[in-house]
Amino acid sequence: MKNKTGVRLFYGIVFILVVKPSRAQNNEQNPYLNSWFTYLSQLKIDSVWSMSMELHERTGDFFKDQGQILIRPSIDYHIQPNASFSLGYTWINVQPFEPINQPIAFNENNLWEQALFKYQIKNVKFQNRIRFEHRWIQHIDENNTPIRINGTHYKNRFRYRHTMQFDISKLKNKPIFLHCFDEIWINQDDWLKPRSLNRNWFYAGIGIQLNESANAQIGYLNQIDRNGDKNLNTDIVQFTWVKNFNL
């Protein structure tokens, strides 16, 4: 058992070293440690259809500043147990918080399509997720006094996430697992042609599987946002609660 645990930890360390983006010299470090709370849920209707919901509460300066609220429902079609396609919607409210240079709050509405593929090598579970987002973002007009929202502008974005998860121990017969992922975000033009790098996420966390349908996680997320010729590097503590249901 100890040998198996050591091998899994080795694979996890290799994954972290391979996918974690390096901190280039032109990176600007966000001095504030952010804190994020995530709720993930899926309602399985039958063997083919399900409905999913994500709720995100994101705060800056470790619980001090309200940052973002996201509500993200979707409907999922499972062509087989390890492959699904989803159509979803996201509402996002973004508040001004340091060090983001934003005078007032704004909202974003987006529609998205997603493909999710799962596979397993021995006891290690992998996921590949591809998502296309079509975004309507409120425009902040700073030429008026007072500053106000004036219409929306439209953007497309591509996201790809690679995830790895495996058990590393047990606590009172409940599996303890390591969960890691790396996700790249790419801006697209109106014809979906890749245009520029938007963001990169790296996450590593530890979770406990409470039962077949629920788990809790705590982890570290490193976010790199591209801003002109510089990158804004942000460290985040993320708390995640997962609860699924079955009709």
pLDDT score at 71 = 98
Rg (CA), the chain: 19
The stretch 81-90 carries a mean pLDDT of 97
Q: What digits encode the pLDDT tens for the residues 193-208?
A: 888 899 999 999 999 9
What pLDDT, on a 0 to 100 scale, did the predictor assign at position 22?
47
Residue numbers of the domain that contains 175: 2-246
19, pLDDT greater than 70? no
| pLDDT value at residue 6 | 54
In CATH, what number is assigned to the domain containing residue 132? Answer: 2.40.160.40
- How large is the average pLDDT for residues 85-99? 93
pLDDT at 64: 87
Instruction: Provide the number of structural domains found in the chain.
Output: 1
Percent share of the chain, pLDDT over 70? 90
Model confidence at 16: pLDDT above 60: no
Q: For residues 162-189, b (16+ Cβ closer than 10 Å) or e, as one string?
A: ebbbbbeeeeeeeeebbbbbbbbbbbbe
pLDDT band at 228 (very low <50, low <70, confident <90, very high): confident
- Rounded CA-CA distance 233/51 in Å is 34
pLDDT for 3 equals 53
| Identity of residue 140 | I
